[in-house]
Amino acid sequence: MLYIGIDLGTSAVKLLLMDATGDIKKIVSKEYPIFFPQTGWSEQNPEDWYNATIAGLKELTAECDTTLINGLSFSGQMHGLVILDKDDQVIRPAILWNDGRTQKECDYLNNEIGREKLSQFTANIALTGFTAPKLLWVKNNEPENFERIQKIMLPKDYLAYRLTGNHCTDVSDASGMLLLDVKNKCWSKDMITILGLTENQLAEIHESSDVIGTVKEAVATELNFPSTVKVIIGGGDQAVAAVGTGTVGDGMCNISLGTSGVVFIASKNFAVDDNNALHSFAHADRKYHLMGVTLSAAASNKWWMDEIIGTKDYATEQKEINKLGENNVFFLPYLMGERTPHNNPDARGTFIGMTMNTTRADMTQAVLEGVAYSLRDCLEIARSLGVTIERTRINGGGAKSPLWKKIIANVMNVTVDTINSEEGPAFGAAILACVGCKEYATVEEATSALIQVVDSVEPDSELISAYDQQYKKFTMLYPALKDVFNVIK
């Protein structure tokens, strides 16, 4: 049988077709526009998502026997707000995860309602990207639209609704709304009251591998699919990407070294750190996860190489780096502010420690190390909660650098594993489709069968010790510069 994973990203939808053994048959991508009607705003038309997905499904399955398609599932950009009226028509353009208009609403939630209460209700505090502040913004600025709301949906859930007619969501994606009681995996009645909503306006909650229906007859006819094709709800992009790397169960870790850097830790237990520095979300494997984010990971290296040095030859620049753990130059990778652990949009990228003897290679090394130290910040918070991490998987563009993987292994004192797949969210969604259709009993069973480690970087005891001392110096820099960042913002 065949399975489809649909990854609804910010700029494009990526679709993947595979069989139950994980053999990928075809991958298709379809782009759609983003609109920026005002400075700091970011919106999309949900109809564009649907049209691109239908076109992508047609292209994806044009050369296969569609009678073999058994199920499909989703990965989706998180936090976006889609609101529907009584006729299930979209009321206004979707407000996306990277939209920054809700600072006033976040300040109200964090300061007037209170961070402690928000954490108690939802396991998280308000951030501008989350869905609940967006709803408050609509209530405060577009009251006529707020009054028309019949259903509140997340981006990938809107696609699932269009395919099935059912208003559903999953626990991993809903965790990023600031509306879910994450620990108990149900809607928070307190948050519903604070926002002036009713529970009927929210979607039905499922685990990520649950079947929520079959493809509607009209859709099946248009796609030449059997009407028996099952739709599995799927999950938020980070959780489903973790499924795609096999980061499931308890104590598994994955580092995504993309534009941003994500430390994702799967856990069988629910946990929240005292400062809410880590996101505490439900996972797509029916358990939980902790997640820390550094906003400029591979983006920091790209900025340094492309804009400052003026080269695309990253590998050649890294060949000159041969004195790990000895660099006197430090770099704070806060080019876009920082999320974990500082949650400070005014933090800025900073070099410190240069002398007349500092070389170009020292500066390049400092960038790679600074990102690794920032990722360790995330890991240390998890360790403070009693989570033991001895190895991590790694993916993303930065993971193509053997040197960067070696630095990360020794800065974080973990074995760094590379796996046999680079497809991430779309692959993870197809795995969830397999589980939903009973090809595998659990997500863990599926990932164990389909994902293998192909390369590992072990930490070195001497480098671990050297980098421990370097990391201690790194942790002194942000507190010393915090007030300066507030002045130069």
Which DSSP string do the residues of 405-469 spell out, in sequence order?
HHHHHHHHTSEEEEES---THHHHHHHHHHHHTTSSSSHHHHHHHH--EEEEE---HHHHHHHHH
Instruction: Report strand pairing: 253-257 vs 261-267.
Output: antiparallel
> Is the pLDDT score of 77 beyond 90?
yes
- pLDDT for res 355: 98
Question: Residue 245: which H helix or E strand, with range?
Answer: helix 237-245
**Cβ distance 5 to 430 under 8 Å?**
yes
237 catalytic per annotation? yes
Q: Is the same domain home to 319 and 455? A: yes
Quick check: helix, strand or coil at residue 150? coil
Q: Is the same domain home to 303 and 448? A: yes
- Model confidence, pTM: 0.91
Which residues have a Cβ under 8 Å from the Cβ of 316 and sit 6 or more positions away?
none
Domain boundary among the residues 187, 205, 233 is at 233
CA distance 99 to 101: 6
pLDDT bucket at 197, cuts 50 / 70 / 90: very high
pLDDT bucket at 42, cuts 50 / 70 / 90: very high
The pLDDT tens digits of the residues spanning 274-302 come to 888 899 999 999 999 999 999 899 999 99
What average pLDDT does the chain have? 95
- pLDDT for res 263: 95
- pLDDT for res 421: 84
Q: Is the same domain home to 332 and 385? A: yes
Among candidate residues 256, 242, 331, 337, the one with its CA nearest the CA of residue 295: 337
Which residues have a Cβ under 8 Å from the Cβ of 377 and sit 6 or more positions away?
292, 294, 340, 341, 475
Q: Is the same domain home to 330 and 465? A: yes
Helix 425-436 × helix 443-450 angle, to 10° = 120
Q: Is residue 240 part of a domain?
A: no
Q: Is the same domain home to 217 and 306? A: no
Q: Is the same domain home to 145 and 212? A: yes
- pLDDT for res 305: 96
Number of separate domains in the chain: 2
CA distance 215 to 226: 8
The pLDDT tens digits of the residues spanning 423-434 come to 889 999 999 999
pLDDT bucket at 100, cuts 50 / 70 / 90: confident
- pLDDT for res 258: 87
Q: Is the same domain home to 213 and 359? A: no
- pLDDT for res 367: 98
Domain boundary among the residues 209, 233, 257 is at 233
pLDDT bucket at 259, cuts 50 / 70 / 90: confident
Ligand-binding site membership of 78 (annotated): yes
Ligand-binding site membership of 79 (annotated): yes
Q: Is the same domain home to 345 and 465? A: yes
Backbone angles phi, psi at 2, to 5 degrees: -115, 150
The pLDDT tens digits of the residues spanning 219-232 come to 999 999 999 999 99
Which residues have a Cβ under 8 Å from the Cβ of 436 and sit 6 or more positions away?
71, 73, 209, 210, 211, 230, 232
Domain boundary among the residues 233, 265, 297 is at 233
Q: Is the same domain home to 325 and 203? A: no
Quick check: helix, strand or coil at residue 246? coil
- pLDDT for res 276: 87
Please tell me which residue in 7, 157, 181, 237 is annotated as part of the active site: 237
The pLDDT tens digits of the residues spanning 134-177 come to 999 999 999 999 999 999 999 999 999 999 999 999 999 999 99
What's the CATH number where 185 sits? 3.30.420.40
Among candidate residues 5, 41, 332, the one with its CA nearest the CA of residue 156: 5
Q: Is the same domain home to 87 and 216? A: yes
Per the structure, the complete domain to which residue 211 belongs is given by: 2-233
